[in-house]
Amino acid sequence: YPEGSPKPPSWPAMHSAASNISFWLRVLFKLTPDQFCEAKKVDYAVSYARTVAGVHYPGDNIAGLNMGQDIIARELPSFLSKKYESNIDNVANKVQKVHFDWKNFDPENPCPPVMRE
């Protein structure tokens, strides 16, 4: 692969799955639109670096970002409830509210006006 694509089959990227600060921070804190944008750019940069390194296809990274978000969405409400006595329903509602699909992320326009509202 002259463009540096990996030779093994395609799998969701675990570095991308682990890089989901833009999701869980929005559950725990009230981020400004600019803070959310910067956190999203960090997540994308971590995943994109894996493509540049030639170890994952771009789709692997998007799948990893979405998979990581899904795991956090599933586990965070009960974790916060057990660890900090957070209201599990409130956390679950916040998780659902801030969940987004990385397939819709445009690296050329990472912070569109709609996202800033």
Three-point CA angle 12, 58, 3, nearest 5°: 125
DSSP for 38-80 reads HHHHHHHHHHHHHHHTTSS-HHHHHHHHHHHHHHHHHHHHHHH
**Band of pLDDT at residue 117, cut at 50, 70 and 90:** very low
Domain boundaries, the chain: 52-117
Alpha-carbon gap, residue 30 to 26, rounded angstroms: 6
- Verdict on whether the full-model pTM lies above 0.75: yes
pLDDT category at 5 given cuts 50, 70, 90 is low
| Residue the block writes with tokens 């990472």 | 110
pLDDT digits (tens, 9 = 90+) for 28-57: 999 999 999 999 999 999 999 988 888 888
**CA-closest candidate to residue 64, choices 78, 49, 79:** 49
